[in-house]
A and B are shown apart, each in its own frame.
Chain A
Amino acid sequence: MHIIHGTWIPQPIEEYLQEGAFYLWVETDKTVGRTKKREHSRSLAKDRLAQFLSDEIGVKQVDSFKKIDAGISAKYFILPSAHNQPLKSYELMQFTGDDPPETFEFKAWEVSCYQVQALAVFNLLKNIYFLFSNSRSNTLLGSDLAFWYHYTQSFKEIILKDRYIPSLRYQKLPCPKDKRRKNYDKFRIHPTWEIISDKYEAKIKAYASWMPQICVSGTQKPMGQNIFFDRSSLLQHFSENMLLAIIQNTQITKKYEKQIEGTFLSDCMPDSISSMQDYSKSAKSNGDSYWKTENALEVYKNWRQWSEKLREHYTSTVFAFCFKLKAAESEKDNWKIYFQLQAKNDPSLKIDLADYWHMDKTAKTRVKKVFGKDLEKKILLHLGQAAKIYPKIWEGLETDKPTGICLNLEEAFDFLKESSWILQESDFKVIVPAWWTPEGRRKAKIRLKTSSENLKKATAAGKNYFGLESILKYSYELSIGGEVVSEKEWNDLVNAKSQLVKFRGQWIELDQKKMNQMLEFWQNNANEKPEINVLELIKLSADEDKFEFDHDDVLKEMMAKLCDKSKFEVIPNPDKLNGKLREYQKKGVSWLSYLESLKLNGCLADDMGLGKTIQVIALLIYEREKKEAVLLPTLIIVPTSVIGNWNREINKFAPHLSRLIHHGSNRCKIVKEFKEKVQKYNTVITSYALARRDAKLFQSCEWERIVLDEAQNIKNPKAAQTKAILKIKSKYRLALTGTPVENRLMDLWSIFNFLNSGYLETQAKFRKAFELPIQKENNAFKTKILKNLVEPFILRRMKTDKNIIKDLPDKVEQKVYCTLSKEQASLYESVVKDILEQIEETDGIQRKGLILSSLTKLKQICNHPSQFLQDNSEFTKQRSHKLSRLTEMIEEAIESGESLLIFTQFKESAIELEQFIKNELNYNTYLIHGSISRKKREQMIQKFQDPETEPSVFILSLKAGGVGITLTKANHVFHFDRWWNPAVEDQATDRAFRIGQKKNVFVHKFVSMGTLEERIDQMIEEKKKISGAIMGSGESWLTELDNESFKELIALNKEAVWE
């Protein structure tokens, strides 16, 4: 595990020119032996740092140091420490599972740091952020670097918007010691650049308050005492250094040099700045000595007067100056711009200058109270400045009470297209008519008139929607603002001299060039009657700027349904479904079946706990109820850990659906046999691993549908498993996932490649067109288009949706069935055999003891072999399907930002689980069992409950955590193993399901199939029907069972084990 840190460190000098540099360092979880006492024992030293930077980050591509080592040197950080050691960073503690210390001291530590070239800082931070902020790799981004990434991104604005000016700094020189010398230099003026922007000041303020202190704790030399830099001055120091680095990187031409020769600007040019900073060489134009003269002082004063006036614009105005354009109503040239003021702290407070000037004295005084003193002066100054930028305003200043200006059509268009932007860039506010805003603008578009003629024919022929592939006909039309336009009208508009025309009562902007292209396109294509399929149609609709659509009723309804899933009618509860679907589940089934009727494939991405499995089962029943034709079998590919659960759920909800579990060593392996066998079943369930290993079998058959549960398993398109699955032939494909796929774009691509291959283009094209622009540049336009593209195919309901909550009971209980692994099964069998032998020979107390201890042993096996063996063997998920399933479910919950509780009756398994979740899954965990002190418990509970802390896993032993505490941050409760008494389980569940819980609580109870756990579960279910808590809280009553009953209780039902 590596955590990349970094910050800006100023030079350790007390001179006028104090620069600084950006340094990177890397923390690791492994302690490294140190030669020096004050060396940081958990930071990468020179060689390993160099290696890491070149291998993991690819520093060379961004930074121009020839050799990375040359950039590495020792720097010093004042860090939280204890026992004469630096403590791990918070981020690292999160990973290793240490608790943040309650007390610590600050000490300085020597850390090997890599100095980033000033100009490379932006790109390097961008790359590191891109590589590691979203990854699950073993390298994380420290919050310090994340902070600097965000700040540099925000700082870009200063450069891109020209918010800096050439500047002069006056430095008083000290009086020389030799007092007889009268003619010493009293001052020196330094040409430089400075940032002027109210936004910059706001940025510094905001970012300084967010900055982690690790960013201010670095120094270049060891300091005698514990001192941090002040955050906002450090940020300013960094920003100013960055600005000058950028200036110095700008080359200018000889011609330009000549153009500005002799002015102070020439001393602000890159070369001069560099040499001035150097102090040794004299500058090119005016020279070092010049800046100590009275003439220079004169220039300084003139500059100051100028810059003070610039600054004034940014300070002390409490209003924004607005220009409001009002369109001509009847005459085309009668446009107006009104001058208005708007209060900054309350934008609803607006006043027209036309009104203001006519107010009486008391009214004016009232206005001044809101808009500040010297109001009239400021109004005039603002207008003067605005007029400098948009000279048309001078015309409005021919009076002493300016109220606005009049524009003709051409000027109005120029204002909308250009001057309004310029004014806005200059911090004036512009209000334009609604039809000019992006939302209100009416655009000229090509309109696709589509018809589902063929579709209707097909339906009439009784073929249902089947075979809709290339059935849509369409033709082109021209349209403006959603209204069809004839060619003549279009031509008239194109030939209109103005780009702003009044069309059917409303002003619109015309881009004649674009319109001509469109016309040409239309003329070439209008008479054809081409056909496209639904998929292509949806793809075209994603780019709203180019095309608009005129669908006939059938298609209109179809597009509306695809785009707004709330429009779906719910299906009736399928007769043969052994259970009741919730409203949203009925909608889900209806959506799935509708998509398939269009020959489209979708992804059901509901949150965990909302019942994706039952929706698929309902679909299988529904299609059989609806259709008479014989359906091919559906292939369900799932992680090994949920094979049992699927089987169980189908059995529970649709026992009439026949299913083949293709799993375990006894499975059919011969193509011919398999093909024959499969025909007899409605469904075939198998695992991802076997989908690859037995690819030939699966590829030899035709399937009705392939269902992928936990579809993120195919996120790697190059994996053999993915390739094998893609080759299986089926009419339909369906992906299920509970992790939010939208956030990992390449996962999204992979799932779509399975669903509707080619729809999102090739991987390389997709990366270029979407992944990079969206994840690296935050491109909003691309994000929108991608959203439009994928949305019709993904149904994701969240637990927090109001519509869902209303359908859900406050507490949703669900069994999670798993099979035993091979190892578990053989252990289980041998223990049972042992017990049954012994039980014949014992009685009395001994017999009781034997029964109780064997129950414990068997339960331990169901949890994990290592827990039973107690041999310190590895606690891996491969050895226990239960653990493997738990892992998947935890990941889903945490990825969706939810917290969860896990109950187990064994202290050992609580400890093992905690270690496992912390170290293998890297999630934040808490643990309570009998030996944890009350004080510690309370602290953990408080931290867990804190809304500011990240989603976490709380593991509790059933006895210690069962009562008295509130853990309402969790909305998932897992019962890893089962207790005989439902009341005890319910009590535990109630930790989350308590007053203060605002979310629905999902309870997941694990049951190992074919084992005593299943028997316990059945008993609980039966007893529950009679009374909530009829049994005692212990297991002692079980000892009263006779041998035969006991045998029945613990025997392994081999049918439930497939491996």
Chain B
Amino acid sequence: MAKFSKTWWGEKFINALEQIIDSGRLSRGRTYARTGRILNFHLSEDKITAKVRGKKNPYFGVYKEPKYNTSIKIKPILQKEWKTVIKLIGTKAGFVSKLLINEMPENIENAFSELNLHLLPHSSKDLITKCSCPDYANPCKHIAGVYYLVASELDHDPFLMFKLRGLAKQDLLKELGKTSLGKILLPEFADKKICIENTESYYTKPQTEKVGTVNFKKFWTGSKQLSKQHIKPVSETAINAVLIKKQGDYPLFWDKDSSFIEAMEDFYQRVRDKNRKFL
């Protein structure tokens, strides 16, 4: 069974739910999320709301496909407490660097634990959930379904976790900007304006130029006599896919549970293996 989350923080987010809900509801919830029964998924300031397409169930007197309203709220951290936490985050280059490449720093909880706080949901007390379905249990399978979607959303955007804890990204950045590291790196956080670059050709277009004055000898032989000394033997790379590894994994365009970097490693290796004899 494919995991819903591919990052450690997404997984940890799910762990919190798994502690308070039975496995049957959990797996049905996953199916809900995977089969597209969750509609109008919406993240507001501090809560997640969604409509979930339920199932007909004559036993409960449901004859028509119902739509249930669900909401999930995570216990917020107070603004005052945030200030302390962010000050701490701002003293650790590792935290900031990780956030920069859209990753949750592994030891982020250290910054919270001093105040006895948690960033990721820790226990059932952290979650406030509601659903309009007739199920007596809370959280129900509909909640679980929505929850899974949030986890996968978190993979792409770890800042969402801060938002769910009551601190929007811009507030976070504003606060971070007051620290020394924040001052240095803040511009990097700002979403760059992506300009579309129009291209006239699939390959770089070979430009042409009028023939100017030409030296006869240079026309044929060029400006430099190339000899064996100009060839440096090239060895194969010692590490696969080194170029793309400098960025984090799971880039935004990669909508997969498996790792982008691994997929690329595999491909680069294939290219070298298949073409070595042609080079």
Contacts and interface: CB of A to CB of B under 8 A. Distances in A.
B219 A308 contact: no
25 contacts: A17-B201, A100-B217, A101-B216, A147-B222, A150-B226, A160-B234, A161-B236, A166-B264, A170-B199, A171-B199, A192-B202, A212-B219, A233-B204, A246-B275, A246-B278, A256-B263, A262-B256, A263-B253, A309-B247, A380-B93, A380-B185, A383-B97, A398-B93, A400-B180, A426-B243
Contact of A306 (B184, B235, B253): B253
A856 interface: no
A227 B208 CA distance: 6
A499 interface: no
Given A156-B234, A162-B240, A229-B207, A387 B278 contact: no
A397 B206 contact: no
Contact of A122 (B93, B101, B235, B278): B278
Contacts of A236: 203-204
B245 to A, nearest CB: 6
B92 A397 contact: yes
Given A259-B263, A302-B251, A425-B242, A159 B226 contact: no
B231 A154 contact: yes
A381 B188 contact: yes
A17 B222 contact: no
A249 B278 contact: yes
3 residue pairs, one from A and one from B, having the closest CB atoms: A397-B94, A384-B97, A212-B222
A146 B221 CA distance: 9
Nearest to B229: A778
Contacts of A165: 243-244
Contacts of A142: 220
B155 to A, nearest CB: 14
Contacts of B94: 387, 394, 397-398
Interface string A390-410: 000010011111100000000
B238 A421 contact: yes
Nearest to A215: B222
Nearest to A15: B201
Contacts of A250: 267, 270-271, 274-275
Contact of B271 (A214, A247, A777): A247
A225 B224 CA distance: 28
A212 B278 contact: no
Interface residues of A, number: 117
A143 B271 contact: no
Interface in A608-639: none
A306 B243 CA distance: 12
A249 B275 contact: yes
A157 interface: yes
B2 interface: no
A175 interface: no
A322 B210 CA distance: 46
A228 B208 contact: yes
A1022 B238 CA distance: 74
B78 to A, nearest CB: 25
Interface string B69-95: 000000000000000000000111111
A106 B212 CA distance: 10
B242 to A, nearest CB: 5
A325 to B, nearest CB: 17
Given A213-B219, A234-B206, A247-B271, A400 B93 contact: yes
Interface string A95-106: 000001100101
A310 B246 contact: yes
B233 interface: yes
B231 A246 contact: no
Interface in A28-47: none
B15 interface: no
Interface in A137-171: 142-144, 146-147, 150, 153-154, 156-157, 159-166, 169-171
Given A78-B211, A226-B210, A304-B197, 13 more contacts: A143-B220, A190-B202, A227-B210, A230-B207, A251-B274, A262-B256, A297-B196, A310-B246, A313-B246, A380-B93, A397-B94, A398-B93, A426-B242
A1052 interface: no
B199 to A, nearest CB: 5
B237 interface: yes
Interface string A189-205: 01010001100000000
A90 interface: yes
Contacts of A304: 194, 196-197
A421 B239 contact: yes
Nearest to B97: A384
Contacts of B8: none
A576 interface: no
A10 interface: yes
B65 interface: no
Contacts of B263: 256, 259-260, 263, 265
B44 interface: no
B275 A227 contact: no
A422 interface: yes
Max count, chain A CB within 10 A of own CB: residue among B266, B267, B272: B267
A86 to B, nearest CB: 12
Given A172-B198, A302-B253, A398 B92 contact: yes
A252 B270 contact: yes
A463 B242 CA distance: 66
A400 B90 contact: yes
Contacts of B204: 233, 236-237, 240
A197 B93 CA distance: 27
Nearest to A943: B217
A264 interface: yes
A166 B96 CA distance: 28
A308 B220 CA distance: 39
Contacts of A422: 238-239, 242
B205 A170 contact: no
Max count, chain B CB within 10 A of own CB: residue among A143, A376, A779: A143
B258 interface: yes
A546 B254 CA distance: 50
Contacts of B279: 122-123, 156, 159-160
Contacts of A246: 271, 275, 278
Nearest to B110: A398
A160 to B, nearest CB: 5
Nearest to A79: B219
Interface in B94-115: 94-98, 100-101, 106
A10 B254 CA distance: 34
Contacts of B274: 249-251
A146 B222 CA distance: 11
Nearest to A781: B233
Interface string A555-586: 00000000000000000000000000000000
A305 B194 contact: yes
A297 B214 CA distance: 46
Given A160-B272, A212-B218, A400 B181 contact: yes
Contact of B221 (A91, A226, A394): A91
Contacts of B194: 301, 304-305, 308
B220 A385 contact: no
A386 to B, nearest CB: 8
B248 interface: yes
A166 B271 CA distance: 13
Given A160-B279, A234-B206, A384-B98, A376 B184 contact: yes
B230 interface: yes
A194 to B, nearest CB: 10
Contacts of B90: 400
Contacts of A123: 278-279
A213 B236 CA distance: 32
A229 B94 CA distance: 49
A832 to B, nearest CB: 50
Contacts of B180: 400
A143 B222 contact: yes
Contact of A380 (B96, B210, B221, B251): B96
Contact of A778 (B95, B206, B220, B233): B233
